[in-house]
Structure 1
Amino acid sequence: MQGKKLLWVTLLNISITIVQIIGGLISNSLSLLSDALHNLGDSSAIFIAFVAGKISRKKPDASNTFGYKRIEILAALFNAIVLIAICVFLFYEAYERFISPQPIKGKLMLVIAIFGLLANLISVVILHKDKSHSLNVRAAYLHLLGDTLSSVAVIAGGLAIWTWKVYWIDPLITVLVGIYIIWHTWGIVKETVDILMQAVPHDIDIEKVKAEVEKINEVDNIHHMHVWKLDDSQTHLEAHLNLINNIDMIKMMEVKGETEHLLREKFGIRHITLQVGYNCCKGNNNLINTNNS
């Protein structure tokens, strides 16, 4: 369902882009052209999100034993970086317009901007329900949200230009919209980089995990612990579980099961790999590995 929605939004955005490029060139509006450029970037970004979503559903194989989920993370990072780059380019264009203001056909700019707003609103509504289910879809959604805001700003600018001939408002709108988009997009860049760097998820307190696990009977300590996200929804943990006593295999598996239950129910960690032993890594009670072993 997400794939079909992304495809429909892509086609809708392409239509917006064509109309806005033609309208921007005829009206000589930088903010309208910037809106068109955003939409062009969005069209490619949403299409990339669509393709990435398809690839991510491929099953694990001998070459990619974790599967292809992280293709969505790469797509989200790529889309976010492209959007920031577009904004920086538009800042330069806006500076040129501040230095040398040019006459603009405000009425035509206004009509095209209204069309862009309506089309963007439809796209935002289509993806709204799915934005929290995937970082990849959220990146595409933020593209569209930025364009919706941009269209509103361009409409306001078109009214001002048509009524009072204040041409300097055109590059000003471009800069303000660019700043807003970069501010919202930076969070996606940070989150995708954290996932790719296998950083501990922000909602996991690794010290608290250690403290809770060590409250379990027969557990001496948990060490060599690694917690990371495979994608924006799957959290993994691997660790050594050191026991107090040299118990039999049946009891050991009970302790292991109790630990896994705790990690799943209290911390939301679903993919768990525990190496259980007695006096393992003697003298090492560190949280994480210090020697790559």
Structure 2
Amino acid sequence: MAHTHSHSHTSGDDNVKRLALAFGVTATFMIIEVIGGLVSGSLALLADAGHMLTDAAALLFALLAVQFARRPPNARHTFGWLRLTTLAAFVNAIALVVITILIVWEAFQRFRHPQPVAGATMMVIAVAGLLANILAFWILHRGSGEKNLNVRAAALHVLGDLLGSVGAIAAALVILYTGWTPIDPILSVLVSCLVLRSAWRLLKESVNELLEGAPTSLDIPALKRNLCRSIPEVRNVHHVHVWLVGEKPIMTLHVQVIPPHDHDALLERIQHFLEHHYEIAHATIQMEYQPCHGPDCHLNEMQSDHSHHHHH
């Protein structure tokens, strides 16, 4: 999914150029593979084109994320437009699942009624696809000095796509040398599995983000304990909410503290703790001196006490 972590604008522009170039190469070759797959009658090429679609989409989201990250938040969209890339990823993941199902269905049909495949045409296009992938990978990797997650994620996608092209080349070789056409649907199913894997990951991540889920790596009970341990003035942490907007974690929490000498300094220490240990830069902290008496809050405390002793 789209990760945005570009700080300096010059490198940001460079990233945009590289992403756009790689997207151009991938999208063009995806179209060539679709046409080639239809002309040569090769299902493996179509499956590889499906795989290239995942790459082209990943590159496009990376581009969009960089662009949207630049658009400042406004009064209506207080988080800016970062969620749009998540929504796009979700739609893309569903499209990929549909493509995979179609290809696997077609592969079963072809097992029952083998169809002629033009091995030579298939070979030429599969090799060209492989070269296009290598070119896209090189474009993206050339500037990996700057640790932009967007570009790295896209480069990994393209690398995974090399496998798809290798599968199509293998099928073409078998058909050219033995004339055994069922190898084409067999390898198309294998390539579809690669597509399904990236689609599933994309679906999981985007759904978690759209359902306001916390980052999967974050252990909230541990965060509460660590915060109480690290900052002696903190007695209790509750009402914790963490969610993601365009890969950026956002957090709100209530903290019951011993009345400090310097309210703002303590607030700053809590914020520094969250940013330093959990990379949460955007936290809204409500500090309280008395135990919180909100109705829902009391429930929260009761539940968390119970869950430590015996699980419901």
TM-score, scaled relative to structure 2:
0.80
Instruction: Measure the CA separation in 2 of the matches of 1:243 and 1:203.
Output: 27
Instruction: Measure the CA separation in 1 of the matches of 2:18 and 2:74.
Output: 28
1:117 maps onto 2:133 in alignment: no
| Structure with more contact order per residue of length (Cα contacts < 8 Å, sep ≥ 6) | 2
1:217 maps onto 2:228 in alignment: no
Partner of 1:133: 149
Deviations 1:149-184 (A, max 9, x none): 211001011000000011000000110111122123
What displacement does 1:42 show? Answer: 4.8
What displacement does 1:14 show? Answer: 3.6
Q: Residue 226 of structure 1 is aligned with which of 227, 235, 241? A: 241
Describe how 1:192-203 pairs up with structure 2 within 5 A.
Answer: 192-203=206-217
Partner of 2:249: 235
Instruction: Measure the CA separation in 2 of the matches of 1:166 and 1:288.
Output: 67
Partner of 2:91: 78
Change (3 A) 1:75 1:5: farther
What displacement does 1:116 show? Answer: 0.8
The range that moved more, 119-128 or 109-118, is: 119-128
Contact 1:142 1:184 in 2 (8 A): no
How many pairs were matched up? 284
What displacement does 1:285 show? Answer: 8.4
What displacement does 1:25 show? Answer: 3.2
Percentage of identical aligned residues: 37
Change (3 A) 1:230 1:180: same
Q: Residue 7 of structure 1 is aligned with which of 6, 13, 20? A: 20
Deviations 1:258-291 (A, max 9, x none): 222222222222111111121142484846999x
1:185 maps onto 2:199 in alignment: yes
Instruction: Measure the CA separation in 2 of the matches of 1:214 and 1:285.
Output: 20
The range that moved more, 10-19 or 111-120, is: 10-19
Change (3 A) 1:18 1:200: closer
Partner of 1:53: 66
What displacement does 1:194 show? Answer: 1.4
Contact 2:51 2:195 in 1 (8 A): no
Which letter maps to 2:177? Answer: T
Which secondary structure state, in structure 1, belongs to the residue aligned with residue 169 of structure 2?
A: helix
Which secondary structure state, in structure 2, belongs to the residue aligned with residue 214 of structure 1?
A: helix
Instruction: Measure the CA separation in 2 of the matches of 1:43 and 1:162.
Output: 30
Describe how 1:157-172 pairs up with structure 2 within 5 A.
Answer: 157-172=171-186
Which secondary structure state, in structure 1, belongs to the residue aligned with residue 262 of structure 2?
A: helix
1:152 maps onto 2:166 in alignment: yes
Q: Residue 101 of structure 2 is aligned with which of 69, 78, 88? A: 88
What displacement does 1:244 show? Answer: 3.1
Contact 2:50 2:96 in 1 (8 A): no
Change (3 A) 1:162 1:87: same
Contact 2:171 2:183 in 1 (8 A): yes
Deviations 1:82-105 (A, max 9, x none): 222211111111111111101222
What displacement does 1:222 show? Answer: 1.3
Q: Residue 48 of structure 2 is aligned with which of 26, 35, 41? A: 35
Change (3 A) 1:252 1:95: same
Which secondary structure state, in structure 2, belongs to the residue aligned with residue 85 of structure 1?
A: helix
Instruction: Measure the CA separation in 1 of the matches of 2:233 and 2:34.
Output: 69
TM-score, scaled relative to structure 1:
0.85
What displacement does 1:114 show? Answer: 0.5
Deviations 1:60-110 (A, max 9, x none): 111111111222222222222222221111111111111110122212211
Which secondary structure state, in structure 1, belongs to the residue aligned with residue 254 of structure 2?
A: strand
